[in-house]
């Protein structure tokens, strides 16, 4: 089993990293292979909407998005962590996620997704909601915890003082491992669910 973990904060050692670390320790204990990537500190352009990816199945902007596409394809689960910026995830992370999810055309169904957010004070559930949207449009079941996946802190490592936040991360990681293992068994026994040819209705008269 493999997990792709994305740190969407510009800070490599900030609060998002600390919250992700709490999950990483559980994944390590459970023998899950981890690919941890710090994305939030990079210059990442937003999607240009050129739609070239429909033909090439990769992004025209050849950067970390294309580099991680194969890891995303291989993985059984994905964790995306972000600091809250103006009640939303970090912009560089959003640019990354928009292009990664749009340009990769492989089947993402039943890869388990989990978004986590870290803030000084507010805007957490709005940001959490944004992250979950990438998973839920892709047929990816979302792992949940004992609370919404939120931890609080402002200065680097302040999140250490949020015992409930860190516990939420550990519970989330344990639930995620259970879900990934259960899905692997389910896929073996039942295969993936039936799909229909996608209907695309851009507007309704």
Residues 141-160 that bind ligand FMN (CB under 6 A): 153-154, 156
The answer to the question of residue 42 lying near ligand FMN (CB under 6 A) is: no
Nearest approach, Cβ of 55 to ligand FMN (angstroms)? Answer: 37
Q: Which is nearer to ligand FMN, 123 or 139 (CB)?
A: 123
Nearest-angstrom CA–CA distance, 13 and 169: 17
Return the residue of 66, 68, 80, 85 that touches ligand FMN, per CB under 6 A. 85
The answer to the question of residue 41 lying near ligand FMN (CB under 6 A) is: no
Contact yes or no for 166/22 (Cβ under 8 A): yes
Contact yes or no for 145/151 (Cβ under 8 A): no
Residues 6 or more apart whose Cβ sits within 8 Å of residue 88: 94, 123, 126, 127, 130
CA distances, 167 to each of 137, 163, 173 (Å): 28, 6, 10
CA 75 to mean position of chain CA atoms: 12
**Residue 131 exposed, middle or buried by CB count within 10 Å (0-12, 13-18, 19+):** buried
CB atoms within 10 A of CB 51: 11
Q: Report the C-alpha dihedral over residues 159, 99, 64, 14, rounded to 10 degrees.
A: -10
Q: Which is nearer to ligand FMN, 39 or 119 (CB)?
A: 119
The answer to the question of residue 119 lying near ligand FMN (CB under 6 A) is: yes
The answer to the question of residue 16 lying near ligand FMN (CB under 6 A) is: yes
Nearest approach, Cβ of 140 to ligand FMN (angstroms)? Answer: 24
Return the residue of 121, 189, 197, 205 that touches ligand FMN, per CB under 6 A. 121
Q: Site for ligand FMN (CB under 6 A): how many residues?
A: 19
Q: Which is nearer to ligand FMN, 122 or 186 (CB)?
A: 122
The answer to the question of residue 87 lying near ligand FMN (CB under 6 A) is: yes
User: Tokens 């991680």 label which residue?
Assistant: 68
Q: Which is nearer to ligand FMN, 86 or 106 (CB)?
A: 86
Query: In the complex, which residues of this chain contact ligand FMN (CB under 6 A)?
Result: 9, 11, 14-16, 83-87, 118-123, 153-154, 156
């Amino acid at each position: 089993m493999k997990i792709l973990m994305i740190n969407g904060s510009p800070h490599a050692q900030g609060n998002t990293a600390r919250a992700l670390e709490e999950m990483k320790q559980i994944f390590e204990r459970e023998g899950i292979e981890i690919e941890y990537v710090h994305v939030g500190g990079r210059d990442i352009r937003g999607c240009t909407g050129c739609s070239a990816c429909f033909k090439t199945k990769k992004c025209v902007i050849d950067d970390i998005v294309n580099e991680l596409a194969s890891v995303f394809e291989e993985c059984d689960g994905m964790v995306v962590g972000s600091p809250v910026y103006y009640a939303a995830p970090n912009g560089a992370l959003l640019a990354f996620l928009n292009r990664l999810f749009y340009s990769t055309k492989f089947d993402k169904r039943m890869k388990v997704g989990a978004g986590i957010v870290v803030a000084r004070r507010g805007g957490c559930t709005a940001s959490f909601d944004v992250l979950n949207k990438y998973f839920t449009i892709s047929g990816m079941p979302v792992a949940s915890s004992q609370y919404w996946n939120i931890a609080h802190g402002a200065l680097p490592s302040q999140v250490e003082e949020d015992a409930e936040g860190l516990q939420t991360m550990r519970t989330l990681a344990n639930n995620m491992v259970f879900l990934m293992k259960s899905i692997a068994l389910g896929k073996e026994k039942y295969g993936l669910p039936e799909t229909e040819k996608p209907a695309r209705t851009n507007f309704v008269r």
